[in-house]
Amino acid sequence: MTLTPAFFARDPLGVAHDLIGAEILVDGVGGTIAETEAYRTDDPASHSFRGPTLRNRAMFGEPGHAYVYLSYGMHWCLNFVCLPGSAVLIRALVPEHGLERMVERRGLEDRRRLCAGPGRLAQALGLDKSHDGLSLFAPPFELKEAGTVPMVAAGPRIGITKAADWPWRFGLKDSPYLSKPFPRP
DNA sequence: GGGGAGATTATCT
DNA sequence: GATAATCTCCCCG
């Protein structure tokens, strides 16, 4: 699967699945995408459900751009915009590049917890409001395709109250870098 | 290792 | 004024 803007111009379910195993870097810091969640326009849990607002405007912009928002007044979260009104939340990475900077930003050494969760990942990569709306195909972002086809697990999304049972969460099967294990089938 | 409280603020009702 | 796509710390056992 070639990572071009066209890759993102489709249903976020497919994008969320196909992003597992790809690599994301911000200023050279990052690693393999280990966990994602899809948010669609007809999805009660999505920020886009009630239409465009100031916060979610990036979700209605160009596919292949970043949507970065502040969660719980404290944590930045990174999304990749797909078709207008839809996006994929990046929930976990396998930390591989720039470990030193991640440790510095996160204030801990435990590799398993550096990027295991959307807020942790954003902190490790130094993301904030300034990245909202930026293209993923230009610095400081860098995307690389998966080397091999990974085993992908799917299950219910995490931390939401609406449509909580829809299995729109994807991840590297049995990876120790997930924010949480997937429920047994 | 697991459950629960508290942190902290932009956004929308 | 309530809510939220979360995280850390503290307590228990």
Q: Residue A26 belongs to what domain range?
A: 5-172
For A28-57, the pLDDT digits (tens) are 999 999 999 999 999 999 999 999 999 999
Q: What is the pLDDT of residue A1?
A: 74
C1' of B1 to CA of A180 (Å): 13
C1' of C10 to CA of A88 (Å): 34
CB proximity A117–strand C (7 Å threshold): yes
* Upper half-sphere CA count for residue A71 (Cβ side, 13 Å): 20
C1' of B9 to CA of A23 (Å): 32
CATH code where residue A56 lies: 3.10.300.10
> φ, ψ for residue A78 (rounded to 5)?
-105, 130
Asked whether residue A126 is domain-assigned, the answer is yes
3-class SS letters over A99-114: HHHHHHHHCCCCHHHC
Nucleotide minimizing C1' to CA distance for residue A75: C6
Asked whether residue A185 is domain-assigned, the answer is no
Return the structure tokens found at A80.
């990749």
Contacts of A171-176 with C-beta under 8 Å, sequence gap 24+, read A171/A20, A171/A34, A171/A35, A171/A36, A171/A91, A171/A92, A172/A20, A172/A21, A172/A32, A172/A34, A172/A35, A172/A94, A175/A34, A175/A35, A175/A92, A175/A94, A176/A112
Asked whether residue A182 is domain-assigned, the answer is no
Return the structure tokens found at A68.
């970065």
Asked whether residue A113 is domain-assigned, the answer is yes
Gap between the Cα atoms of A139 and A24, Å rounded:
11
Gap between the Cα atoms of A156 and A56, Å rounded:
23
Task: Kindly give the confidence (pLDDT) of every residue in chain A, 185 residues in length, as a single tens digit, with 9 standing for 90 and above.
Answer: 799 999 999 999 999 999 999 999 999 999 999 999 999 999 999 999 999 999 999 999 999 999 999 999 999 999 999 999 999 999 999 999 999 999 999 999 999 999 999 999 999 999 999 999 999 999 999 999 998 999 999 999 999 989 988 999 999 999 999 999 999 87
C1' of C13 to CA of A120 (Å): 29
Asked whether residue A85 is domain-assigned, the answer is yes
Provide residues 10-29 of A with CB closer than 7 Å to any strand C atom: none
CB proximity A67–strand C (7 Å threshold): yes
Asked whether residue A183 is domain-assigned, the answer is no
Q: How many domains does chain A have?
A: 1
Please classify residue A165 by burial: count the beta carbons closer than 10 Å to its beta carbon, then call 0-12 exposed, 13-18 middle and 19+ buried.
Answer: exposed
